[in-house]
Structure 1
Amino acid sequence: MAQVLEFKLPDLGEGLTEAEIVRWLVDVGDVVAIDQPVVEVETAKAMVEVPCPYGGVVTARFGEEGTELPVGSPLLTVAVGSAEDTADPGASGPASGSARTSDADADGDSGSAGETSGNVLVGYGTGAPAARRRRVRPTAFTASPSSTAPAREPAPEGAPHIAAAAALAPAPVSARTRDTEDRGPVAVVSPLVRRLARQHGLDLRHIAGSGRDGLILRTDVESAIRSTEQQSSAAASLEARPAPAAAGPVAGERIALRGVRGAVADKLSRSRHEIPDATCWVDADATELMAARAAMNGTRATGTTPKISVLALLARICTAALARFPELNSTVDTEAREIVRLPGVHLGFAAQTERGLVVPVVRDAHTRNAESISAEIGSLTEAARAGRLTPAQLTGGTFTLNNYGVFGVDGSTPIINHPEAAMLGVGRIVAKPWVHEGELAVRQVVQLSLTFDHRVCDGGTAGGFLRYVADCVEQPALLLRTL
């Protein structure tokens, strides 16, 4: 027999407790297949498409686009049914393929043998074995003059479970579950473009896209925003009237700390609160490093081989330095009052994106050469800018490299990426007067800053690490000893 199952916002992993609905991918009344993505949400770490573990007819949606929901809150309900039950109503016992009971959690509990996959979030999973997937075919709908809910035509032969599920679905229009008017498809691919339009109250259906096949680009939305602001400003100037003097201080603009910005604020505040950090820095002559990089990229075997970035060379130097000073590749267990030295180096690097500052992680960086690190950094950076990084790619780092020189600044005092023990900051590489081999010369100089947790080591260890990094920058041949 058919029944209505509730699908709750699943645990997206890595300690995430809430997510914002960016875009619904289904409407009430739509037929969905098992593991079909039904909603796109934004967490503090990434954009994620959430698949539904049930196959059937969507009967309700909970939350409008832009709403922030905690993990465990209802997302939608789906009417599902058993083909065996519908085909043989006189059967005395439940069919072996019947759906889970309506009070079952949507997390793939063992003991449920229904039409669910066990994979609440594809790519992360629940650990439960996946059920055999069955193709679901949409049911045609026709309007019924005698009821507010649209009548369903008989299901196609071979899909009686869809007919049974559709019979339980309410009218597809609900004040709680969908807008008062049909939105219709729009030529937008990027969720960032949709979010920008939503934040400024723009209807994407009224924006002409300048991209290929009418694709709406970010520049199109920004142009529409400027046009709207200009019209609003003109209207305000016509209606302006002298205003009485303010009786008190003028309230400023309030911006919610949520999403990526909220996550960054929480992590930095916790770092400052828990970690007794200290910073040391040194200027280094990077002329030889830049020459070595030019030689590496100038002797590539083929034109398709990617270039090795400066950041990748610095990352390789860091892994060599951490092998000599493992104290800085550790974390502190405050409850046990223990320092935990970590066996491998998972190197994070700071990347600025439209969503804010993120720190993708190069896994097992200590096992990679400069070419491999460079390729991985390039791949993760591209994914970060497109908003495609997964929570797993943004967590688990043991040491962070921050190249703030790309912003045209020489130095900074980095804040440690909690719960790590250190961060190396790199300023811009710029031509400066420098004493080289006893004579004044113009050299390529960079400032290196190391912020470290004073609980894991003293200044001698931190200074030794930073000095080794600087020596490798000035004399890249030193790295040959550890290769």
Structure 2
Amino acid sequence: MAQVLEFKLPDLGEGLTEAEIVRWLVNVGDVVAIDQPVVEVETAKAMVEVPCPYGGVVTARFGEEGTELPVGAPLLTVAVGGTASSGTAVSAAAGASGASGASAGDAESSEYSGNVLVGYGTAGPAARRRRVRHESAAVAGGGGRTEAKAPAPVQAPAPVPEPVDGPVPVISPLVRKLARDKGLDLREVRGSGPAGLILRADVESALAAAETTAARPVPVPAAAVPAVVAEGGERVPLRGVRGAVADKLSRSRTEIPDATCWVDADATELMAARAAMNAGGGPKISLLALLARICTHALARYPELNSTVDTAAREIVRLPSVHLGFAAQTPRGLVVPVVRDAGTRTAESLTEEFARLTESARQGTLTPGDLTGGTFTLNNYGVFGVDGSTPIINHPEAAMLGVGRIIPKPWVHEGELAVRKVVQLSLTFDHRVCDGGTAGGFLRYVADCVEHPAVLLRTL
């Protein structure tokens, strides 16, 4: 006898609490194998293919593509316990699509993996899916197949929420902060998520209702009313990667008292050194890798900038290793992949890791671990054809080095005017972790290494 099991959106790790359905990889009626990816979702960190721990026939899918679901919400149901050849699972798929499902522990070990789905789910190779075809179902259903959907909730008058004691279930810290900043008591908000979980939409609705109630008509002279120049306009939701970037940048500007210093540097010798490295054959060394090597050596001399601030404890935490983030523009928005232990890597190793992470960023396959844990960020905005910038620090880091384009410019070299390859370097830093003297010393050391790469030989 087949059992219908419900598979819920699992915990994807790194504190992620919701995900958007990008693409379904299976249809109702498909046979799926244990640990086979069934849906592609987008979190605030990356694109994730979610594997299903059950093997059987898909009986229902919950959520259309583009729908945002909280962790723990139903994704699909699978009929397990029968085989496609005997027709047991097929009959379950046809007749039990609306079933709520048994628990995963009721299935036999051969029908579900039992692995904990955190991060990128269960282990094991994904099997190719196959579609179940059976004549009886085609005749009974008129030759077509309909996709089961979650039952529509019955709309009833919402009772007035009563204050509750203890912690209030909220979908994410950002939603809790939104309520706190707006002075909204979450105990008076009724959550629409699973088990009363308070979603962002619940908080925004409560704030809108409060504003409407508090609004009072104020007579305004006709001459003072501005003319309406446009109506409507496109609204783009701030969610997924773009929403996460917006939240992080806003938090950075709110919490970090940043300052920026910059300097022009003659990069002619650095470019010549790179050309010499690549002339001898073997893997090519990227310019970004050389700049990363310079950064890690500079951070060893000025460790104040490889730190973070514990605002609650009012302490500066200096970090022992350099995990170097670098800004990468992708079709999904700006992301900052992180190269682990960049200070211990060679130029060749850095080049390979930059290339791997950049390609993963373009393909949308970066893992949450690839995007977290950075201690310092290198931002090469020169690829956009600009000279300078005042970048926003990647919270909770303490500094970011910006690199502009390298172009021929008039430059005084050895007492004479010459055309040299010049680059503008800028450092944005958290003024809590150091003063201008330290920041200036760091930037000057970076500029000296760019102008005279042999300076690095003193620290090798």
Taking the aligned partners of 2:30 and 2:330, their CA distance within structure 1 comes to 35
| Among 427, 449, 452, the residue aligned to 1:475 | 452
- Does residue 253 (structure 1) correspond to residue 234 (structure 2)? The answer is yes
- Does residue 118 (structure 1) correspond to residue 114 (structure 2)? The answer is yes
| Among 256, 261, 281, the residue aligned to 2:262 | 281
| Among 146, 152, 173, the residue aligned to 1:173 | 146
In structure 2, relative to structure 1, the CA distance for the partners of 1:131 and 1:27 (3 Å cut) is: closer
Q: Work out whether residues 117 and 133 of structure 1, in 8 Å CA contact, stay in contact via their aligned partners in 2.
A: no
Taking the aligned partners of 2:74 and 2:128, their CA distance within structure 1 comes to 25
Aligned counterparts, 1:204-215, within 5 A: none
Aligned counterparts, 1:187-336, within 5 A: 248-251=228-231, 252-300=233-281, 305-336=282-313
Q: Work out whether residues 30 and 129 of structure 2, in 8 Å CA contact, stay in contact via their aligned partners in 1.
A: no
Taking the aligned partners of 1:379 and 1:270, their CA distance within structure 2 comes to 29
In structure 2, relative to structure 1, the CA distance for the partners of 1:464 and 1:63 (3 Å cut) is: same
3-state SS of the aligned residue for 1:143? Answer: helix
Q: Deviations over 1:158-209 (max 9, x none)?
A: xxxxxxxxxxxxx9513627xxxxxxxxxxxxxxxxxxxxxxxxxxxxxxxx
What amino acid does structure 1 have at the position aligned with 2:406? I
What amino acid does structure 1 have at the position aligned with 2:21? I
- Does residue 412 (structure 1) correspond to residue 408 (structure 2)? The answer is no
3-state SS of the aligned residue for 2:250? Answer: helix
Q: Which residue in the other structure is 1:41 paired with? A: 41
Gaps of 5+ in 2: 87-99, 151-225
What amino acid does structure 1 have at the position aligned with 2:22? V
Q: Which residue in the other structure is 2:70 paired with? A: 70
What amino acid does structure 1 have at the position aligned with 2:376? F
Which stretch of the first structure deviates more once superposed, 56-65 or 134-143?
A: 134-143
Q: Work out whether residues 35 and 120 of structure 1, in 8 Å CA contact, stay in contact via their aligned partners in 2.
A: no
In structure 2, relative to structure 1, the CA distance for the partners of 1:462 and 1:112 (3 Å cut) is: farther
Taking the aligned partners of 1:279 and 1:34, their CA distance within structure 2 comes to 53
Q: Which residue in the other structure is 1:184 paired with? A: none
Q: Which residue in the other structure is 2:420 paired with? A: 443
3-state SS of the aligned residue for 2:412? Answer: strand
- Does residue 357 (structure 1) correspond to residue 334 (structure 2)? The answer is yes
Q: Which residue in the other structure is 1:462 paired with? A: 439
- Does residue 427 (structure 1) correspond to residue 423 (structure 2)? The answer is no
3-state SS of the aligned residue for 2:264? Answer: strand
Displacement, 1:137?
8.9
Q: Which residue in the other structure is 2:375 paired with? A: 398
Displacement, 1:16?
2.0
Taking the aligned partners of 1:18 and 1:276, their CA distance within structure 2 comes to 31
**Root-mean-square deviation over aligned CA pairs:** 3.0
Taking the aligned partners of 1:380 and 1:449, their CA distance within structure 2 comes to 24
What amino acid does structure 1 have at the position aligned with 2:274? R
Taking the aligned partners of 1:134 and 1:360, their CA distance within structure 2 comes to 30
Displacement, 1:121?
4.4
In structure 2, relative to structure 1, the CA distance for the partners of 1:288 and 1:75 (3 Å cut) is: same
Taking the aligned partners of 1:336 and 1:352, their CA distance within structure 2 comes to 35
Displacement, 1:374?
1.0
Q: Deviations over 1:423-445 (max 9, x none)?
A: 00001111111121222221111
In structure 2, relative to structure 1, the CA distance for the partners of 1:132 and 1:429 (3 Å cut) is: closer
User: TM-score, normalised to structure 2's length?
Assistant: 0.74
- Does residue 340 (structure 1) correspond to residue 317 (structure 2)? The answer is yes
Q: Deviations over 1:366-416 (max 9, x none)?
A: 110111101111121122112222221111111100001111111110100
Q: Which residue in the other structure is 1:374 paired with? A: 351
Q: Deviations over 1:339-372 (max 9, x none)?
A: 2211111111111111111111111111101111
What amino acid does structure 2 have at the position aligned with 1:6? E
Taking the aligned partners of 2:26 and 2:127, their CA distance within structure 1 comes to 19
What amino acid does structure 2 have at the position aligned with 1:351? A
In structure 2, relative to structure 1, the CA distance for the partners of 1:137 and 1:403 (3 Å cut) is: closer
Taking the aligned partners of 1:137 and 1:61, their CA distance within structure 2 comes to 17
Q: Work out whether residues 431 and 443 of structure 1, in 8 Å CA contact, stay in contact via their aligned partners in 2.
A: yes
In structure 2, relative to structure 1, the CA distance for the partners of 1:114 and 1:336 (3 Å cut) is: farther
Q: Work out whether residues 3 and 102 of structure 2, in 8 Å CA contact, stay in contact via their aligned partners in 1.
A: no
Displacement, 1:146?
7.9
Q: Work out whether residues 397 and 420 of structure 1, in 8 Å CA contact, stay in contact via their aligned partners in 2.
A: yes
In structure 2, relative to structure 1, the CA distance for the partners of 1:61 and 1:359 (3 Å cut) is: same
Displacement, 1:139?
5.8
Aligned counterparts, 1:381-392, within 5 A: 381-392=358-369
Q: Work out whether residues 51 and 120 of structure 1, in 8 Å CA contact, stay in contact via their aligned partners in 2.
A: no
Taking the aligned partners of 2:352 and 2:127, their CA distance within structure 1 comes to 40
Displacement, 1:142?
2.1
Gaps of 5+ in 1: 87-100, 151-170, 178-245
Q: Work out whether residues 3 and 79 of structure 2, in 8 Å CA contact, stay in contact via their aligned partners in 1.
A: yes
Displacement, 1:122?
8.1
3-state SS of the aligned residue for 1:371? Answer: helix
Displacement, 1:114?
7.1
Q: Which residue in the other structure is 2:12 paired with? A: 12
Aligned counterparts, 1:36-185, within 5 A: 36-81=36-81, 102=101, 104=103, 115-119=111-115, 121=117, 124-125=120-121, 140-144=133-137, 147-148=140-141, 172-174=145-147, 176=149
What amino acid does structure 1 have at the position aligned with 2:113? S
